[in-house]
Structure 1
């Protein structure tokens, strides 16, 4: 059976196209692997460093604890914010908060009640609506989508997969502008 030049050209074109796709896929996989290795190095580098928030997971319960040392650059600001939450709690409920009380209480509840997911989402929507900076607005909406917010200082607290989810949500909201 004889092939025409057109048929041979088509076969060669398909073969080149497959080879190009394979090269692109391999380059993408290599770039993903490099990014994950860089992330692992960052996690190890920041582990135990008092200038970064530290994450601890209780193996028996799975509860996550975040700790910020007094040496952390934002420790004083965080202490002030927590003190404001404590004062608000005392003003609203007439007592000091206990270990089982929520950090963010439902503003409409007469007793300390955790803020519902819907109320928290509505709070984020109001926050996003009040922000003029499109990047900050996209970050607020991305945090609503994934349930956390990433900053350069907190990358080590999240897995590479969680970072990928955050970046995809952030890109989606930035593209909506």
Structure 2
């Protein structure tokens, strides 16, 4: 009775290359995925695990480069190197006294004479625009722009009054 070989990748050391054709499907499943290897390598070197790819265009030559920019996450479950960098930065800021004991209360600046004059002119324009002319009747029948007394009917978009004639039926199909 033969026992199957243990399900481990057939490698003698990290320097030996693996022949994918010689491995069974079960042994291939046990190999580390390339994304896991890249993530572990990035964390070991202290660089961002999820960099953002930004395009940079040189305006003189027109050459386009893709530049990786760190994600800047503050959560360790997303990107451990960026979170560690942000934590160290916060520690330095607290040590240097970037935090305040109490929040400052900003006081607004006093308005200048030019601002007062501008606001007074705007108030005068607003009053002149909305002043009601004298002698205007309130209520009664509205007149349309053509001078006719309105029939109360308007077009569906309510832009212009409808003509005073009978309603037209749609053309036959």
- Scaled by the length of structure 1, what TM-score is found? 0.20
Structure with the bigger percentage of helix:
1
- Scaled by the length of structure 2, what TM-score is found? 0.21
